[in-house]
Chain A
Amino acid sequence: MNKPSIETLEKTASQVRRDIVRMVHAVNSGHPGGSLGCTDFLTALYFNIMDIKKPFDPDGRDEDMFFLSNGHISPVWYSILARSGYFPVAELATFRKLDSRLQGHPATEEGLPGIRVASGSLGQGLSVACGAAQAKKLNKDDKRVYVLMGDGELDEGQVWEAAMYAAHCKIDNLIATVDYNGQQIDGPTSEVMDLMDLKAKWQAFGWDVIESDGNDMKSVINAMSLAKSLSGKGKPVVNLMKTEMGAGVDFMMGSHKWHGVAPNDEQLATALAQLEETLGDY
């Protein structure tokens, strides 16, 4: 299968960003900031980097798997899953509504295709990804496991239990990415809980570390291609990916204030005017 061009991926990302602000606006709740920041990464992952199969197989055998640990950025994941064909795009209109498969935070209970474990309570995804990657090794399945975490999420101790474990067990079919936007709910990470030298921390835990720009499609593709080339060599790989919260919508950028706030009608119109409709709104 031919990989889509950078330009095509950017067009997809623009549509995903429209989906995100429309979904969050429709129910006046949800998390647009981190979702917009990770749009380029998830677009690249699902439309270029990962080798995935459809229809959805919960066991993910002989295909790459993705886990979203920072589950609050569910809008971007739901849009990506719908736009890549796991479920109808029209279902995005049910986000956070009663009887929907698109829960506020990702869940398996309602059977939404594309999701393999619930997330939202932070710090658990890396552990689950470690187990899934080890199951692949036991099954002689040479595909990879990807996981995304927030940088604020790194405050959770369990992340470091899992980081220690992954390196100790040489889980080298695991590629973690940190959404390194420097923001968390109560303010900049430097003020709430300083991550200090994050690269040195991961290196000291025994990981191969990549640093990248997460809001430039070419840079994302290059970083994840590098991550793939580093995998399979005895070490887990982490991509410290600098992003801007709210990327793509000027008034949402550069602040933690849009972490969990929905735009009003006027703000929605302003946002949509900045985002080209490329694949048709849901």
Chain B
Amino acid sequence: MTKLTYTEKKDTRSGFGAGLLELGRTNPEVVALCADLVGSLKMQDFIDEFPERFFQIGIAEANMMGVAAGLTIGGKIPFTGTFANFSTGRVYDQIRQSIAYSGKNVKICASHAGLTLGEDGATHQILEDIGLMKMLPHMTVINPCDYNQTKAATIAIAEFEGPVYLRFGRPKVPVFTPADQKFEIGKAIKMIEGNDVTIFATGHLVWEAIEAEAVLAKEGISVEVINIHTIKPLDVQAIIESAKKTGCVVTAEEHQMNGGLGDSVAQTLALNLPTPLEMVAVNDSFGESGTPEQLMKKYGIDAENIVKAVKRVMKRK
């Protein structure tokens, strides 16, 4: 494998905006809805080209989910855009009844997920959204890792029939996946091959895992890094195969420990191949104001904490 590196940083939400614009040009059934956050969600380019296919809902997220469900009746493919907090917790019952239980082809696109939203603080930093969404029958849950992957995921979910939760973030982060990499829902991607331990990471934590690997490699530890961009359906086969090879695993995510990727991996391994596991995630706590870097350090979800988790789990082998 070639060494993973990057030359620029971009926000994943801009990847969403670029993907949406491309969909506008290639799929006439795609429509977009927004709850008064067009700038934050990077939807302006789509609106400029396709004003008649954009629906401004105002600050009324419950109505947005219902309107999106209604638009699918008649064949539209609605993409809703707001912050992750207002895309999930605020409208859980609307998603549950009008979208998931009704099997509606709505794409719930959520920016500003997790701690890295930063200074706005805990009211906006949802760390429970993956759990909320993965519990819903029929729901697919995707958390891409960088600009390119978010753009590719946005395009891919339009081709997929069924409700999808697409989670991305606010800050500029390294762009390290290929621009031409096709996004396959539910198919984990091996970023680095290794033998001693596996790190299963999702979203912004994939890059942190890659940085952790570089530190651990210098100490002679062979780390496998796998990008679990789709939390549901989970790539069970990839998880079991890698755990079988390395014998211990670390999960890493910008989410609560309860209900996140770590839970899903732990469930898979407990049922199929009990394996020592450590979780890098927020431990039953709300966030607070601060810069993304400060918050990731304080709440224990950066490369440094992944390194520590790897050392802990290897002792349990």
Taking CB atoms, residues of chain A closer than 8 Å to B55 are 134, 169
A41 to B57, CA, bound (A): 31
Question: B74 contacts A135, CB within 8 Å?
Answer: yes
- Contact A124–B97 (Cβ < 8 Å): yes
Of B63, B71, B97, B104, which is within 8 A of A134 by CB? Answer: B71
A127 at the interface (CB under 8 A from B): yes
Shortest distance from the beta carbon of A36 to any chain B beta carbon, whole Å = 25
A138 touches B74 (CB 8 A): yes
Assess whether B74 is in contact with A141, with CB atoms less than 8 Å apart: yes
**Interface of chain A residues 121 through 142 with chain B (CB within 8 A):** 121, 123-136, 138-139, 141
Which single member of B58, B97, B103 contacts A164 (CB below 8 Å)? Answer: B58
Chain A, interface size category, equals: 35 or more
- The answer, yes or no, to whether B98 is at the interface (CB within 8 Å) is yes
Assess the A118–B71 pair: CB atoms within 8 A. no
A118 with B98: in contact, given A109-B103, A127-B63 (CB under 8 Å)? yes
Chain A residues, Cβ within 8 Å of B76: 135, 138
* Residue contact A135 to B70, C-beta cutoff 8 Å: yes
Residues of B within 8 A of A58 (CB): 73
> Is B62 in contact with chain A by the CB < 8 A criterion?
yes
A116 and B75 contacting across the interface, CB-CB below 8 Å: no
Q: Which residues of B contact A126 (CB under 8 A)?
A: 66
Contacting residue for A132 out of B74, B93, B96, CB 8 A: B74
- Let me know if B102 is at the binding interface, CB within 8 A: yes
Measured CA separation A127–B71 after assembly (Å):
10
Tell whether A131 pairs with B93 under 8 Å between CB atoms, given A61-B74, A164-B60. no
- Closest residue to B29 on the A side, CB-wise? A138
Does B108 have its Cβ within 8 Å of any Cβ on chain A?
A: no
CB contact list, A56-105 vs B, under 8 A: 58-61, 65
**Which of B76, B93, B97, B104 neighbours the largest number of chain A CB atoms within 10 Å of its CB?**
B97
Say whether, besides A117-B102, A117-B104, A138-B76, A131 and B69 are in contact (CB < 8 Å).
yes
B67: A residues at CB distance < 8 A: 127-128, 130-131, 134, 162, 165
Given contacts A58-B73, A118-B97, A131-B70, contact A138 B52 (CB under 8 A): yes
Q: Does A157 contact B (CB under 8 A)?
A: yes
Binary CB contact string for chain A from 144 to 162 against chain B (1 if under 8 A, 0 otherwise): 0000000000000110011
A131 to B94, CA, bound (A): 14
A-B contact pairs, 10 of them (CB 8 A): A120-B97, A127-B65, A129-B70, A131-B69, A158-B63, A158-B94, A162-B67, A164-B58, A165-B57, A165-B67
Minimum-distance CB pairs A-B, first 7:
A131-B70, A127-B66, A135-B74, A161-B63, A161-B60, A131-B67, A132-B70
Residues of A within 8 A of B (CB): 58-61, 65, 107-109, 116-121, 123-136, 138-139, 141, 157-158, 161-162, 164-165, 168-169
